[in-house]
Structure 1
Amino acid sequence: MPIKWYQNWFSSPYYHILYHQRNDEEAELFIDSLCALLKPAHGCKMLDIACGRGRHSVYLSRKGYDVTGIDLSYSNIKFAKQFENEKLHFYQHDMRHLLFINYFDITLNMFTSFGYFESERDHVNALKSFRKSLKSDGVLVLDYFNTEKIIKNLARQEVKHVEGIDFHLSKKVNEGKIIKTISFEHKDKDYHFKEEVKAFRLADFEKMFRLSGFTVDKVFGDYHLNSYDPVKSDRLIFICRKADV
């Protein structure tokens, strides 16, 4: 099978250079807001799906929770494993495939770590695997960008200068996807990557949650957990419950 864009890009060191501004303070703010809302018990079992290098997982572990992080990227998991302890573990794993059954109290899918696949079936199957990993009263937190605002304010072309590299970014909407191409030169070599993320809106998620066995409990629009506004909000954050099916 051909290598998918996310297998190349998320494993590249340049991904982490470009997005270095995704700092720990922002991640910790979101986690603190979620914990204040959900009030998980000490030692609560959590699954961080598409955990990247583990910044959310590490902070949750420090707060006293039993955390498992999974990510498709070998290099991300290799990096994250330096933080492992008896209550924090990382595995290379595809989110569409089941890893645990009826095990976790809370599963988290953060910072638009979804919407990568071609078909609705793949996305629903991923959500079904999230559901199966949860205990009967388990909670799913899914954090996505607000497609409505993204499309309305789409910057077609921009250049970001980071660590001596000029990243040329081009964005467009095509066939239900928000597509970003990333081009740059480094050490006399040209690089080209892309991101293709489904332009899922609120109604799309509500349908997929229904098909996968979740009920939507709450919807928020930012990391302070303010109400979702389709025009103004930066994020589309769902708190879902495992439904009886």
Structure 2
Amino acid sequence: MNKDTTKWFTSWFDTPFYHILYKDRDDSEAQHFMDTLTEYLNLPENGSILDLACGRGRHAVYLNSLGYHVTGADLSENSIAFAKQFENENLHFAVHDMCKPFNKQFDAVFNLFTSFGYFDKDEDNLNTIKAIKANLNTSGFAVIDFMNSEFIIDHLVPEETKTVEGIEFHLKRYVENDYIIKDISFSADGEHFNFQECVKAFTLADFEALFEAAGVFLLDVFGDYKLRKFNPKTSERLVMIFK
């Protein structure tokens, strides 16, 4: 039996296989990034943070451990159901579409680890920036941590096989119509699965145009999780701070 899925981010992120494939993501690197970022932004003690597209909540949980009041929001019902086990009086999770405002304002809104640019409709990218703006209080900062598309495209590994928990994942990467695409195929539980990750190859100039259209101001641009200067040729990340 062959399972094909179309709207990949609503289905792929909801499968256990997504979490198996990416289970080795570096938590310590992510935590150092959170430390560096919150220190750099000089967020108020007990400040409030909205973690937008929070997945299963690992960064939200860590931010909460630093003393912040954190709300994690994600489209994936399964991920939010999983994250709810970590809730406490200062940590909450909700199923939410990030194209729409959250109806609450925060000291910071974080959109981390390339959780942007996979909408079918272009206007949803702008709507997300507008929603982030609506979610910020007057002194609040927003952070989008995106890939540096130029660097990623230059260093694309076209084909790769990864075996995790006994599942052999076949990965193909390519660029098509301004999207960086990853085809993922594997067999598990006697079934064959095909999924596709599809992220728009936004550049800094693309984001600048979105920010202008949404009426927000880009304050800083960094090229990695240590917040070093952004270089379009050599930086792996594109970390943007705006308000």
| Superposition TM-score tier, normalisation by shorter sequence | over 0.9
- Report how many residues are paired: 239
Structure 1 residue runs without a partner (length 5+): none
Q: Which moved more, 1:114-123 or 1:50-59?
A: 114-123
Report the equivalent of 2:226: 224
Q: Structure 1 residue 207 and structure 2 residue 185: aligned?
A: no
Q: Is the 8 A contact 1:27 1:55 kept in 2?
A: no
- Post-superposition Cα deviations, 1:120-150, rounded to whole Å, max 9, x if no partner, equal 3110011101100111221101000110011
Shift of 1:153: 1.1
Q: Distance in 2 between matches of 1:3 and 1:200?
A: 22
Residue identity in the other structure for 2:42: K
**Secondary structure at the residue paired with 1:210?**
helix
Equivalent of residue 99 in structure 1, options 88, 99, 102: 102
Q: Distance in 1 between matches of 2:159 and 2:41?
A: 40
Structure 1 moving runs of 4+ over 6 Å: none
Q: Normalising by structure 2, report the TM-score.
A: 0.95
Structure 2 residue runs without a partner (length 5+): none
Q: Structure 1 residue 87 and structure 2 residue 94: aligned?
A: no
Residue identity in the other structure for 1:30: F
Alpha-carbon RMSD across the aligned residues, in angstroms, is 1.2
Q: Structure 1 residue 47 and structure 2 residue 70: aligned?
A: no
Report the equivalent of 1:77: 80
Shift of 1:156: 1.0
Report the equivalent of 1:167: 169
Q: Structure 1 residue 18 and structure 2 residue 21: aligned?
A: yes
- Post-superposition Cα deviations, 1:83-123, rounded to whole Å, max 9, x if no partner, equal 0000000000100112224x201000000000011233110
Q: Normalising by structure 1, report the TM-score.
A: 0.95
Q: Distance in 1 between matches of 2:215 and 2:137?
A: 13
Report the equivalent of 1:176: 178
Q: Distance in 2 between matches of 1:8 and 1:121?
A: 21
Q: Distance in 2 between matches of 1:69 and 1:213?
A: 25
Shift of 1:3: 5.8
Report the equivalent of 2:41: 38
Instruction: State the identity %.
Output: 48
Report the equivalent of 2:115: 113
Equivalent of residue 198 in structure 1, options 197, 200, 220: 200
